Amino acid sequence: MTAGTHSGLTVSGVSKRFLLRSGQTLTALDNINFELPKTGVGVLLGPSGCGKSTLLRIIAGLETQDEGDITVDGSTVLGPGIDRGMVFQNYSSFPWLTVEENVAFGLKARGEALSLREGVVPYFIKAVKLDGFERAYPHQLSGGMQQRVAIARSLASNPSLLLMDEPFGALDPETRWQMQSLLLEIVHQERTTVLMVSHDIEEALYLGDVVFFMGTRPGRLLETIRPGLEKSSTDRDAILDFDEYRFLERKIRQMMRAQSLDCA
Ligand SMILES: Nc1ncnc2c1ncn2[C@@H]1O[C@H](COP(=O)(O)OP(=O)(O)OP(=O)(O)O)[C@@H](O)[C@H]1O
Ligand SMILES: [Mg+2]
């Protein structure tokens, strides 16, 4: 990474093309531009195949863009780094490590002292409700539990930028709700910037300071929405009755419908 000044995430003119076996070129991302300030939560929303996972992988440094630049806290992304944590679309806990070892993994990679790790690891295991399963391996857990291991691991390593690809998809509504609250708590406590993918409009509007609505063919940013809804952690359902919420929900639903007609 090279140093700069802007804090948070900037994505400037990012394009990505894949050469298909047929010889055709698929434009997965076409000139994506946005900024996400520090402690901001950005949500990528859009139909299947619009490039959400590709964009997260590029920001994580796991894939390279054909054009454009990405900076995290002013440093240009040139490859993977421990400043960025990633929760993949398919649960990304390490199968050869126990729950405890998975959660400690990022801290270890950062070279944190053992004494520090010892407090942090049980804290996050408990926060994702996996206490009692410390010594279990991922294959002994349900899909939703494995997903929570991946969430705990990424939160415990305290990255500056947390990239999450549908992190709450396999969770039951109540657990999902608790994980969303945990995420918001950590963001504010640790001043983390989050960019996450969701297919759920309610989740996007509740969590997102900014929602990036993407479209397909080519994958592009169609609209930036700033919900600005008053959030209450005690009465979350109240948000569903806000006029602003209902307006935005309807608008996004219509955009999604228009996109799926485009794809047909
Ligand atoms: N390695 C690859 N080689 C060729 N094409 C790819 C590759 N990775 C992704 N694509 C294509 O790029 C497009 C975007 O894929 P991506 O996985 O980013 O979509 P997505 O928005 O995450 O979709 P979903 O909501 O279904 O997860 C798709 O058309 C996909 O087929
Ligand atoms: Mg995806």
Residues of the chain scoring pLDDT < 50: 1-4
Q: What's the gap in Å between 138 CA and the centre of ligand 2?
A: 22
191 φ/ψ angles, rounded to the nearest 5 degrees: 55, 50
What is the per-residue pLDDT for 207?
Answer: 93
Q: Which atom of ligand 1 is nearest to the CA of 50?
A: 21
SS3 content of the chain, % helix, strand, coil (to 5): 40, 25, 40
Please answer whether residues 12 and 68 qualify as being in contact, where contact means their C-beta atoms are separated by less than 8 angstroms.
Answer: yes
Q: What is the pLDDT of residue 3?
A: 47
| Ligand 1 center–CA 88 separation, angstroms | 13
Domain spans of the chain, in order of start: 1-83+169-264, 91-158
Question: Does the N-terminal peptide bond of residue 218 adopt cis geometry, omega within 30 degrees of 0?
Answer: yes
- How many C-beta atoms lie closer than 10 Å to residue 23's C-beta? 6
Query: pLDDT tens digit string along 8-36?
Result: 999 999 999 999 989 999 999 999 999 99
Pocket of ligand 1 (CB under 6 A): 18, 26, 28, 48-54, 89, 219
How far, in Å, is the centroid of ligand 2 from the Cα of 48?
A: 7
Q: Which residue has the tokens 């010892």?
A: 118
- 226 class by beta-carbon count within 10 Å (0-12 exposed, 13-18 middle, 19+ buried): exposed
- Which residues, 6+ apart, have CB-to-CB distance to 217 below 8 Å? 27, 262, 263
Mean of all residue pLDDT scores within the chain: 88
Q: Which atom of ligand 1 is closest in space to residue 214's alpha carbon?
A: 21
User: For domain 1-83+169-264, which architecture applies?
Assistant: 3-Layer(aba) Sandwich (3.40)
Q: What is the pLDDT of residues 66-99, one digit of tens each?
A: 999 999 999 999 999 888 988 887 767 788 899 9
The residue nearest atom 12 of ligand 1, judged by CA position, is: 28
